[in-house]
Amino acid sequence: MSGTEQAMLSGRQAAAILRSVLSSDEQARLLLRTGIAGSGVTTSTATLFDEAAVRELCLRPQVGRRELWRACPHGLYVARLHRGAALDLTRPWAEVAGQVAASIAQQRRLTALTAALTSAQIRVSGRLPFAATYLGFVVLTADLVAVGADRPSLTPPGPWADAVTGRQLHTRSGGRPGYLLTPPVVADGIIPARPGTPPRRPMRP
Q: What is the percent of the chain with per-residue pLDDT over 90, rounded to a whole number?
A: 60
**Per-residue pLDDT at 174:** 65
Residue in 161, 135, 32 with CA at minimum distance from that of residue 81: 135
Q: pLDDT at residue 149 above 90?
A: no
Q: What is the pLDDT of residues 1-43, one digit of tens each?
A: 445 567 999 999 999 999 999 999 999 999 999 999 998 888 8
User: Phi first, then psi: what are they for 170, rounded to 5°?
Assistant: -85, 140
Parse the chain into domains and list their residue ranges. 8-59, 65-181
Mean pLDDT of 155-180: 88
Number of helices followed by number of strands (H, E) in the chain: 6, 8
Give dist(CA 166, CA 175) in Å, integer: 24
User: Phi first, then psi: what are they for 96, rounded to 5°?
Assistant: -65, -40
Spatial strand order of the sheet with 152-155 comes to: 152-155, 137-147, 128-134, 76-80, 178-181
C-beta neighbour count of 133 within 10 angstroms = 20
Give dist(CA 155, CA 78) in Å, integer: 15
Could you tell me if 19 and 7 are in contact, meaning their C-beta atoms sit under 8 angstroms apart?
Answer: no
**pTM, two decimal places:** 0.83
